[in-house]
């Protein structure tokens, strides 16, 4: 069951709200000694998270299917970057990471109860009780936790506004709804935050010498400007004039710390080329999540900040948010 992005949490009776965790969505199947971890794509995650396979295999309940999120916490913060590092071809590397940064499962739904009986057609209230019955039999070594929930919209709003660190947003589910596979039968509201960033470079579009995206940077304590993401939310009408402004500021190095990388297997050489800029322009952008000191997704351009000095654009803005 998937979620549809909406602008705000629903109001009225009959809703349950849960944190939206920043991890890998995962169905966990247990049938006796056999344990499977399945991603949203249908592919197996088992080889990448051997510690979860071992933990679930040792659980006292023999048959169940639960839905949840695989997460890795580092220094008390959820790290999507640490999850991505697990997708490695070498089993020895995966085993090392499993020891050093073990994952855990945040469980939030139940498809088969502790007797192995399918309950996807049952209401959420019944599935939640079945989930608690399954997970309550686990000990700490099973590396599984129950996600919290509330029917109080005011509390869910506090979570969304920073009252619950480490989450990506809030999920809303109908209390009387069944588990509907492959449909967006839940609602999600993502945490959107803003930051003022230096425009340290830009890329031209593939069709010609008109700006396609702005490369964003933040200063560290040592005064180095690091590339942290991009924004491409520029209207077609604005692009020609903005290109003229940017071209007058072209000057190396652009970024004095981490810089945009070389072409990957997903991009050709032209799409990876970028033009360095003098650190003169400051843009306010909206973002949803930070991973490894970078914006995980493309940001949304809000406005220019001519009132802001480039040196005021520091990592402090996005620390622990």
Active-site amino acid positions:
20
Locate 209 and state its tokens.
Answer: 């010498």
Rounded Cα–Cα distance for residues 48 and 272 (Å): 30
The reply to whether omega before 253 is within 30° of 0 (cis) is yes
Locate 167 and state its tokens.
Answer: 């989450």
Give the residue among 235, 237, 276 at the shortest CA–CA distance from 257.
Answer: 276
What single string gives the DSSP state of each residue in 41-71?
TS-B-GGG-HHHHHHHHT-S--EEEEEEEEE
* Residue 272 CA: distances (Å) to CA of 203, 226, 275, 281: 8, 17, 10, 22
Question: Contact at 8 Å (CB) between 120 and 179?
Answer: yes
Strand order of the sheet with strand 24-31?
34-38, 24-31, 63-71, 104-112, 144-146
75 CB-near residues (< 8 Å, 6+ apart): none
């Amino acid at each position: 069951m998937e979620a549809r992005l909406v602008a705000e949490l629903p109001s009225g009776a009959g809703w349950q709200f849960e944190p939206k965790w920043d991890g890998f969505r995962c169905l966990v199947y247990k049938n006796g000694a056999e344990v499977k971890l399945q991603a949203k794509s249908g592919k197996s995650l088992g080889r990448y998270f051997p510690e979860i396979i071992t933990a679930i295999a040792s659980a006292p309940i023999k048959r169940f299917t639960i839905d949840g999120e695989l997460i890795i916490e580092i220094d008390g913060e959820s790290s999507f970057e640490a999850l991505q590092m697990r997708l490695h071809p070498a089993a020895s590397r995966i085993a090392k990471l499993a020891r050093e940064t073990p994952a855990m499962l945040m469980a939030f739904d139940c498809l088969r109860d502790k007797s192995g009986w399918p309950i996807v057609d049952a209401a959420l209230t019944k599935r939640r009780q079945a989930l608690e019955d399954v997970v309550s039999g686990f000990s700490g070594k099973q590396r599984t936790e129950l996600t919290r929930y509330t029917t109080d919209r005011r509390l869910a709003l506090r979570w969304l506004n920073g009252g619950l660190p480490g989450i990506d947003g809030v999920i809303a589910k109908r209390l009387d709804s069944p588990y509907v596979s492959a449909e967006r039968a839940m609602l999600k509201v993502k945490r959107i935050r803003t930051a003022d960033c230096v425009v340290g470079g830009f890329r031209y579009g593939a069709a010609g010498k008109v700006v396609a995206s702005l490369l964003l940077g933040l200063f560290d304590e040592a005064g180095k400007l690091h590339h942290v993401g991009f924004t491409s939310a520029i209207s077609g009408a604005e692009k020609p004039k903005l290109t003229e402004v940017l071209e007058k500021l072209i000057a190396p190095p652009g970024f004095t710390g981490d810089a945009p990388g070389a072409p990957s297997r997903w991009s050709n050489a032209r799409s990876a080329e970028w033009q360095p800029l003098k650190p003169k322009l400051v843009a306010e952008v909206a973002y949803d999540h930070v991973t490894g000191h970078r914006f995980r997704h493309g940001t949304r351009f809000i406005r220019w900040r001519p009132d802001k000095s480039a040196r005021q654009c520091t990592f402090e803005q996005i620390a622990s948010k």
